[in-house]
Amino acid sequence: MITNYTAATLSMLSGVFLYYPLYTDVPGFTRSGYGLTLTIAGSLGIITWVLMIFGVRKFISQMETLVVEIQTHNEPPTPEQTNALHTAESKLIRASLFVVGLGVVVVLGMSVAQYIRL
Residues 6+ apart with CB under 8 A from 104: none
Q: How confident is the model at residue 84 (pLDDT cuts 50, 70, 90)?
A: very high
Q: Is 1 a residue whose pLDDT tops 60? A: no
User: Containing domain of residue 64, as a range?
Assistant: 2-115
User: How many domains, the chain?
Assistant: 1
Q: Is 36 a residue whose pLDDT tops 90? A: yes
Are 43 and 101 spatial neighbours (Cβ–Cβ below 8 Å)?
no
Q: Is 2 a residue whose pLDDT tops 70? A: no
Please give the model's pTM, rounded to 2 decimal places.
0.82
Q: Is 101 a residue whose pLDDT tops 70? A: yes
